[in-house]
Amino acid sequence: DTAVSQTPKYLVTQMGNDKSIKCEQNLGHDTMYWYKQDSKKFLKIMFSYNNKELIINETVPNRFSPKSPDKAHLNLHINSLELGDSAVYFCASRGTDLYGYTFGSGTRLTVV
């Protein structure tokens, strides 16, 4: 059983399109996150939800909109995709203990 699963794993799309990435966790964690990893491997937090409520909303373009239908799911919708959006996007979840995140395996988005 995959603890944090993201779909799709790869996404190639044209500039200007709208796309979504889905994330689901079966760990019973309360908090979920979206991170963006650029080509230099730098990880930048984008959003965090706790029990379906937005708690972190870093400075990202408003073309990015997270949606959490329930605490096990956190989806990321991106409007009007741009070349600079190409990156690997990671979903993660965290329980109430100190012991770290559980990451999904990532979605590699390529905008052409």
Partner 1 sequence: GNSVTQMEGPVTLSEEAFLTINCTYTATGYPSLFWYVQYPGEGLQLLLKATKADDKGSNKGFEATYRKETTSFHLEKGSVQVSDSAVYFCALSRVGNQFYFGTGTSLTVIP
Helices (H) and strands (E) in the chain, counts: 0, 11
Choose, by CB under 8 A, the member of 76, 87, 104, 109 that binds partner 1.
104
Print the binding letters for residues 72-91 with partner 1: x by CB under 8 A, - otherwise.
------------------x-
Question: Residue 64 interacts with partner 1 (CB under 8 A)?
Answer: no
Q: How many residues bind partner 1 (CB under 8 A)?
A: 19
- Reported as half-sphere exposure (CB side, CA atoms, 13 A), residue 67 has a value of 10
User: Least distance in Å: CB of 16 to partner 1?
Assistant: 28
Alpha helix stretches (DSSP H) within 3-77: none
